[in-house]
């Protein structure tokens, strides 16, 4: 019982510091990530750890980066992006003259900028800027800077890399015309209200540590935020088991349409 109370005490105090509610995440995986971080800074108990998080902003930011999933790259799972371009978006344009797009859990911006590149390349009529949101202010700052490693851009076609990036040493900076197409904003997907009327929402590789209840809550919110016939594009390791109850139908692997 003491261990359970200790965990509850920690997540309550951490939420007060960070505004991040860890009850939405699977406890065993989250406890392992937290314990590994505590060992890395030579701390053995939650009380001392909370004290450090309150007093050291750098460690707090490092810890938030550690527990949130921020692995990303441009055009990740390229065959899925081809499906998006060749089939999904043309179908959306049959419904509406302009499409409203959101990259939810955008991390450091690779996904949102990939969407912007495609929008330019295929002359897609966007309804405003592409919305890109994440709970982590640190990754949003990196996204806004738009500087990426060779690893991050390895799936970018050579023509796109030359056209939309400027090489700076071992890094590549996204060009301003792409940056201007994206609006980065902080958002807690599980607690904040969503805008409405989206035609395409991407939430890929974000919910890996969420509880099943949290996933269902999130997918319900996405469904409510989409227009009829709108598309939710999820990650390559994910599946929506209660899609029918949410008013969603699988139209291709990893793509769900609102009915």
Domain spans in the chain, listed from the N-terminal domain onward: 2-67, 78-258
Which two structure tokens, joined as six digits, stand for 112? 């949102």
On whether the CB atoms of residues 144 and 185 are closer than 8 A, the answer is no
On whether the CB atoms of residues 102 and 131 are closer than 8 A, the answer is yes
For the chain, give the percent of residues with pLDDT over 70: 97
Q: What is the pLDDT of residue 1?
A: 35
Question: Span 145-156, mean pLDDT?
Answer: 92
Residue in this structure with the two tokens 């991407």, named with its chain if needed: 202
Question: Span 202-226, mean pLDDT?
Answer: 92
**Strands 130-134, 182-186: parallel, antiparallel or unpaired by DSSP?**
parallel
Integer Cα distance of 162 and 80 in angstroms: 23
On whether the CB atoms of residues 147 and 171 are closer than 8 A, the answer is yes
Question: Span 91-110, mean pLDDT?
Answer: 94
Residue in this structure with the two tokens 């969407």, named with its chain if needed: 115
Asked which of 60-64, 82-86, 146-150 is least confident by mean pLDDT, the reply is 60-64
Q: Which residue has the higher pLDDT, 67 or 91?
A: 91
Integer Cα distance of 250 and 232 in angstroms: 9
Judged against a pLDDT cut of 80, whether residue 5 lies above it is answered with no
Which two structure tokens, joined as six digits, stand for 234? 């999820």
Which two structure tokens, joined as six digits, stand for 137? 């202010």
Integer Cα distance of 203 and 105 in angstroms: 6
Q: How confident is the model over 162-198, as pLDDT tens digits? A: 999 999 988 999 999 999 999 999 999 999 999 999 9
Integer Cα distance of 1 and 54 in angstroms: 26
Question: Span 17-23, mean pLDDT?
Answer: 86
78-258 carries CATH number 3.40.50.150: yes
Judged against a pLDDT cut of 80, whether residue 45 lies above it is answered with yes
Question: Span 47-62, mean pLDDT?
Answer: 92
Integer Cα distance of 31 and 93 in angstroms: 44
Q: What is the pLDDT of residue 88?
A: 95
Q: Which residues contact 224 (CB under 8 A, 6 or more apart)?
A: 194, 196
On whether the CB atoms of residues 156 and 130 are closer than 8 A, the answer is no
Question: Span 86-90, mean pLDDT?
Answer: 94
Which two structure tokens, joined as six digits, stand for 146? 């738009």
Question: Span 70-96, mean pLDDT?
Answer: 90
Q: What is the pLDDT of residue 203?
A: 95
Q: What is the pLDDT of residue 209?
A: 78
């Amino acid at each position: 019982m003491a261990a359970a109370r200790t965990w509850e005490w920690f997540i309550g105090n951490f939420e007060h510091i960070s505004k991040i509610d860890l009850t939405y995440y699977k406890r065993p995986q989250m406890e392992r990530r937290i314990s590994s971080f505590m060992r890395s800074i030579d701390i053995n108990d939650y009380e001392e750890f909370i004290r450090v998080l309150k007093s050291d902003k750098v460690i707090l930011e490092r810890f938030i980066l550690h527990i949130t999933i921020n692995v990303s790259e441009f055009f990740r799972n390229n065959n899925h992006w081809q499906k998006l371009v060749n089939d999904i978006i043309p179908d959306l344009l049959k419904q509406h003259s302009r499409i409203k797009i959101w990259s939810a859990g955008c991390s450091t911006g690779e996904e949102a900028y990939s969407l912007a590149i495609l929008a330019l390349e295929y002359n897609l009529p966007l309804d405003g800027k592409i919305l890109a949101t994440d709970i982590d202010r640190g990754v949003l700052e990196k996204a806004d800077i738009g500087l990426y490693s060779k690893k991050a851009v390895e799936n970018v076609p050579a023509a796109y890399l030359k056209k939309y990036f400027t090489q700076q040493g071992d890094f590549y900076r996204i060009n301003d015309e792409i940056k201007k197409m994206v609006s980065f904003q902080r958002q807690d997907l599980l607690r904040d209200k969503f805008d409405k009327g989206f035609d395409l929402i991407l939430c890929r590789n974000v919910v890996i540590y969420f509880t099943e209840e949290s996933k269902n809550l999130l997918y319900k919110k996405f469904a409510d935020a989409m227009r009829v016939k709108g598309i939710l594009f999820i990650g390559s390791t994910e599946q929506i088991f209660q899609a029918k109850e949410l008013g969603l139908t699988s139209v291709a692997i990893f793509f769900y349409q609102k009915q």
